Every structure is written in structure tokens, then in C-alpha cells.
Amino acid sequence: MIPCANPLSQFQSHRAEIEEAIQRVLQSGHYILGPELEALECEFAAYIGTSHAIGVANGTDALELSLRALGIGPGDEVITVSHTAVATVAAIEAAGAIPVLVDVEADFYTLAAEQLSEVLTRRTRAVLAVHLYGQAADMDAIVAFCRERKLALVEDVSQAHGARWRGKRLGSLGDIACFSCYPTKNLGAIGDAGLITTSDMGLAARVRTLREYGWRERYISEFAGRNSRLDELQAAILRVKLRHLDEDNAKRRVHAARYKEGLAGLGFHLPVARQGAEHVFHLYVMMSGERQRLIEYLKQHGIHAGIHYPVPVHLQPAYQNRLRAAASMNRTEALRNEIVSLPLYPELEADKLEKVIAALKSFARDDTVCSR
């Protein structure tokens, strides 16, 4: 079976370096908030182009702690999208705030900036922009909206490590930014991990305090915090993978270009790159009007395709009828029936990629014959 994502293959491609890093930690005697994490935080901040990076336990915590560091809590509203991982909305609620959802753009599947004014209220405190599938949301429009209304801007960069918007790395454009380093991400740990970036010294200090019980002095909580520490093993592993991130992203772009070439003219709606954005193709998401039949067809040919995401947050059982959303969520709701994620990861072999393309061509031919 050709998987949709393959974190094991990334471990194998960097195995010697990763095993060396793990042994270094095991022999060091430092396992929590030690020198590996300090080094990762310095290296990641330099990579993104911010003054600070802070390691936390996972991407959901990164979002929650960022909102709390901004002073956002009960009664405050945060605008984001429904077409995202449920973690985005869960983190807003974990901070005590109220998620307000808007639709997405037709071509890029990211936040529809024209709806921001529609859902704005006196309680709105922030916009949480999700950079989905590997490229930027419309940051020109979103930044302008937030600045004009003095709202905080939080970037969710969990699917776009290393991507750029007009030459700047995502994660350096808002007040604060959040990264999941789940194993399948472009910068993936071997376990859970998260990172936060900001150039605001005060925000960075508050996040560092929040991630460890609100301590400024050990065992003395200045305010209520959390235990959300990134351990030394994951930090060491991420340091290895960070050194290879740009070259791995370049491989993803090569695979995506081959998909674009090989699938042209078959009737699928292929990914569209936003002008001004450098795409890193965390996922290769296309659309098909015969999505379920296509997934089953690919499965029969030994290919595992994914759906990211099958149900918008506002339609999920836990959230129905208790979230405020824009009047029209038509594009979000239409996507749920048509999007499909094809296998894509840096180590995807050329013959396997060609097998995926051949299967899709065969499906398209069969579909054309059946529809006559």
C-alpha cells in the first residue's frame, strides 16, 4: 500500500543523525527544558525570522497558550475557519474564548477575508489565520483588517513549515504563530511536539511562564499556567529535521509539479498556488465529484488517499448549533464531499508516484466511459 503520508520513511532517511541525537540526549542527563530545547528554540526562531521561539507539548497547546498570552479568555471572540483540524477550534475554547467561523476561498481553501467584517463584533479580539495544506492564507487582506481594527493576529502554521508569503516565512507575519510538529508534518517529531514564534518579548515571556505552571520562580505560580513542555528527545530530533526542512520541502514541490503535469486535463480540480506564496505541499489536495468511488478505486490499486477534512467543525456533533458562523458557509460545506489528499512526502519514490498518476488516469478513463 502506498500511504498518504509516511513518517517512518523520513526517520529512515535521516536515521543516523536522529539516532546520534537521541543517544546524545540519553547520555546527557537533561531530559526536560534543557540545552537541546534551548538550541532548537534559537535555531527555529532564526529560521522563521522572529526574535523568539518557544517549544511546547503539541500544536493544540501552542494555539491555546498563544491566545492566553495575548490576554484572550472568557467572553472574547476569535475568528477562524471551519475547514481546519478541530484542534484550531478546540484550542480557542480551551482558552475560554468563543470561536466564530467564516467560509474559505474557492481556490485556496483558506480564510475568506471578505467575511471578516460580517462576523466582527465588539467582543472580537483576534483573527486566527490557518495556512492550510502548505501555503499562506491571504495575509495582505488579513493583516490589513487586523491592523485597522486593532485585533491580534495569530497564525496557525501547522501545515506550512517553511512556506513563505512575499518572501517572508509564515510564522513571522502575525503577533504570534503556532506550529504542530506531529509526526506527519513537514517538520515532524517522533511523537507530539509544538512550537510558538513571536518577535514580541512580552508575549514570549508570558508563553514561557504559561507552559510551566505560571512559574517565573520555580514552584511559585504567578498565575495559573499549564504543563506543556517540549522534551529534550523531541527537541533533538526536530533539530536534525530542521536542518533538512528546505531540501525536503523542495522534494515535495517536485512531486507536486509531477502530479500537476501528469493529471492535467483529466477533469480533476488540482491545487492552485496563490500568487506571492511559496507552497510547501504538506498535502496535495485535489477535488473530484466522484470522491468516494475514487478513494475505493485507489485502494483497490494499493494506494491510500486521505480526506483533510471530511466534516467541517461547525457540522461536527460536538459543535453543532453552538458555534456562531458566517451566514454563508457554502464553499466549506461543498468541499467536504469532493476533496481528496493524494500520497505526498519527500521520500515518495518516482515509481510509486507514477503508479498513483496511472491509477488516476485509469479512473478518469473509466469514469468517462461510464458517463457516456
pLDDT digits 0-9 by tens, 110-150: 999 999 999 999 999 999 999 999 999 999 999 999 999 99
- The pLDDT value recorded for residue 366 is 83
Q: Crossing angle, helix 232-263 and helix 350-370, to 10 degrees?
A: 50
Grade residue 183 by pLDDT with cuts at 50, 70 and 90: very high
The number of residues making up the chain comes to: 372
What pTM did the predictor assign? 0.97
pLDDT surpasses 50 at 369: no
Give the Cα separation of 313 and 340 in Å (integer): 18
> For residue 84, which of 155, 18, 25, 23 has the smallest C-alpha distance?
155
Q: What is the mean pLDDT of residues 61-69?
A: 98
Q: Report the helix count and the strand count for the chain, using DSSP H and E.
A: 12, 15
pLDDT digits 0-9 by tens, 297-328: 999 999 999 999 999 999 999 998 889 999 99
Q: 117: helix, coil or strand?
A: helix
pLDDT digits 0-9 by tens, 342-361: 999 999 999 999 999 999 99
Cβ neighbours for 18, distance < 8 A, ≥ 6 positions apart: 11, 190, 237, 240, 241
According to the per-residue pLDDT averaged within each range, which of 156-170, 212-226, 316-330 is highest? 156-170
Query: Is the distance from CB of 329 to CB of 82 less than 8 angstroms?
Result: yes
- The pLDDT value recorded for residue 107 is 93
Q: Indicate the average pLDDT of the chain.
A: 96
pLDDT digits 0-9 by tens, 14-32: 999 999 999 999 999 999 9
Query: Is the distance from CB of 270 to CB of 260 less than 8 angstroms?
Result: yes
Grade residue 367 by pLDDT with cuts at 50, 70 and 90: low
Cβ neighbours for 352, distance < 8 A, ≥ 6 positions apart: 2, 343
- The pLDDT value recorded for residue 368 is 56
pLDDT digits 0-9 by tens, 225-270: 999 999 999 999 999 999 999 999 999 999 999 999 999 999 999 9
- The pLDDT value recorded for residue 370 is 45
* All domains in the chain, ordered by first residue: 7-239 (3.40.640.10), 244-370 (3.90.1150.10)
Q: What is the mean pLDDT of residues 174-186?
A: 98
> For residue 241, which of 74, 3, 13 has the smallest C-alpha distance?
13
Q: What are phi and psi of 208, to 5 degrees?
A: -60, -35
Give the Cα separation of 126 and 72 in Å (integer): 8
Burial 296-310 (b: 16+ CB within 10 A, else e): ebbeeeebbbbbbbe
